[in-house]
A = this chain, B = another copy of it.
Amino acid sequence: MANVNRQWVLAKRPHGKVGKANFEYREGRVPKPGDGKVLVKNLYLSFDPTQRGWMEDRPSYLPPVKIGEVMRASSVGEVVVSNHPDFVPGDRVLTGGGWQDYCVVAPTGGPFGLNKLPAGVPLTMPLSVLGVTGLTAYFGMLDLGRPKAGETVLVSGAAGATGSIAGQIARLKGCRVVGIAGGEDKCKWLKKQARFDAVIDYKSEDVDARIGKLCPKGVDVFFDNVGGDILEAALNHLAMRARVVLCGGISSYNATKPIPGPTNLMNLVITRSRMEGFIVIDYMDRMHEAIPALLGWISAGELVYQEDIQEGFKNIPDTLARLFTGKNIGKQLLKID
């Protein structure tokens, strides 16, 4: 075991784009776990658009990361030292290890807890399709979207880690699924591999017009990861009693000024529709419902997912920035060297 614990700490709150300038590299001692705690060596880190929000000093669903604090992130790692009867060295775990080599965690501590990986499951899966992004898709689509067979479901950020799973779940429920994504590669993957019924390339197509064309009976469920103009376009095409699942708004996360909302919220009134937000951490006690369902669909070949795995501790801040460039297809991860 190394003596050094490499860390990236938050150095400067973001204004506009995030990147290296917001973080500072530090080296510390490897911590020692107290009673009932374990020491985990992080192997993979998860990157999520919502992490951008944690860097800001404003109230949200989790407290802001403090200046000088290790950047928060969920991780998969290996138990190195255990002072807890349920864990032994070598156990593979899912936790919120943050941007560092080693972390000390208690099984009940923090928003991410400490969960042993099911046997036989690939190491990265609990950070992607079985992790926060897959669970977000599962509960957001099923609990809030409530898709019924024959309905039309529209997904923005459809090639992303959450959107791609959300759309496929709707397809598995018998819906016609239309995805919005940026660029040919993503659109091709959505059509061919994820078997979306239709795809709109927002980089080259008129999104509003294409939604109208591809959803002639209107959109029953809109699962939104993007916000902004895309949300406005979708609201123009709501079916009666539509459900708009507000999952994220990546279009505004790096904005330096407030981005105006849709001008057409009154369409929610005209169509008697609902727009609802949620945070997956509220559903953690229902993971036992979602995980077997997702695993079942994956093993039956009904649900596909992609991971974009960057490598190297030094590339951690750039990998967060990468999320907002639209370059990643599927779940953004990083393997610690």
Contacts and interface: CB of A to CB of B under 8 A. Distances in A.
B272 A275 contact: no
Interface of A: 59-61, 227, 231-232, 246-249, 252, 258-279, 282
Contact of A275 (B60, B258, B275): B275
A269 B248 contact: yes
Of the candidates A60, A249, A271, A277, the one having the most CB atoms from chain B within 10 angstroms of its own CB is A277
Contacts of A282: 272
A72 to B, nearest CB: 16
19 contacts: A227-B266, A246-B265, A246-B266, A248-B269, A249-B265, A249-B266, A258-B264, A259-B263, A261-B262, A262-B265, A266-B277, A269-B279, A270-B279, A272-B276, A272-B278, A272-B279, A274-B274, A274-B277, A275-B276
Contacts of A277: 266-274
Contacts of A246: 265-266, 268-269
Of the candidates A232, A263, A269, A274, the one having the most CB atoms from chain B within 10 angstroms of its own CB is A269
A220 to B, nearest CB: 15
A61 B241 CA distance: 12
A232 B261 CA distance: 9
Given A268-B276, A272-B276, 15 more contacts: A59-B270, A60-B270, A231-B265, A246-B268, A247-B269, A258-B263, A259-B263, A260-B263, A261-B262, A261-B264, A265-B275, A268-B275, A269-B278, A274-B276, A274-B277
Q: Which 9 A-B pairs have the closest CB atoms?
A: A261-B261, A260-B260, A269-B277, A258-B263, A268-B277, A274-B276, A261-B262, A275-B275, A261-B265
